Structure 1
Amino acid sequence: MGNKTNGLLALVGLGALAYWKYKKSTPEQQQAVKDKFNNAKDNLNKWGNDLKDKANDVASQAQNKFDEAKTKVEDTATNM
């Protein structure tokens, strides 16, 4: 329990320090921080969308293979 508490306190402390430093910085520095966050958000969204597209492609390929196998089994069963 002590490690979790210490970790949370450290995280809150770092957050407070970052907020204080951000508020004391110049408008140009604040804009640079905002740009970094926006860039990181855009990259994360792009990565998520790429991952989603790949997952959909794999699911589609699997569905196609399943449909082909099902058709072969049905054809074999009707020819018997």
Structure 2
Amino acid sequence: MNARDWQDKAVCREDPDLFFPVGTTGPSRDDADLAKWICRERCYVRQQCLDHVLRAEAGWPIDRRHGITAGLSPRERLHLDTTRTAA
């Protein structure tokens, strides 16, 4: 399956705005939690998405990572980045 094939099957394509909450508290937190649940429970291409985002964001600081991707927040993805070194 090439990149375009799995991206076309991603559940987030149905409501992309939900996966980019504007904040981290209140209704935005609820949206983020819902987006994570949708990724984890309803998306059949979550692993391909996770592999892709970890490659794409490798070495990026937290301020360059945005949205809920593969059921993870930017901070959660940062912790999975194996290219990071301790400061």
Bigger fraction of residues in helix: 1
Give the TM bin, normalised by the shorter chain: 0.3 to 0.5
Larger Rg: 1
TM-score normalised by structure 2 residue count:
0.33
TM-score normalised by structure 1 residue count:
0.35
Higher relative contact order, chain-length normalized (CA < 8 Å, sep 6+):
2
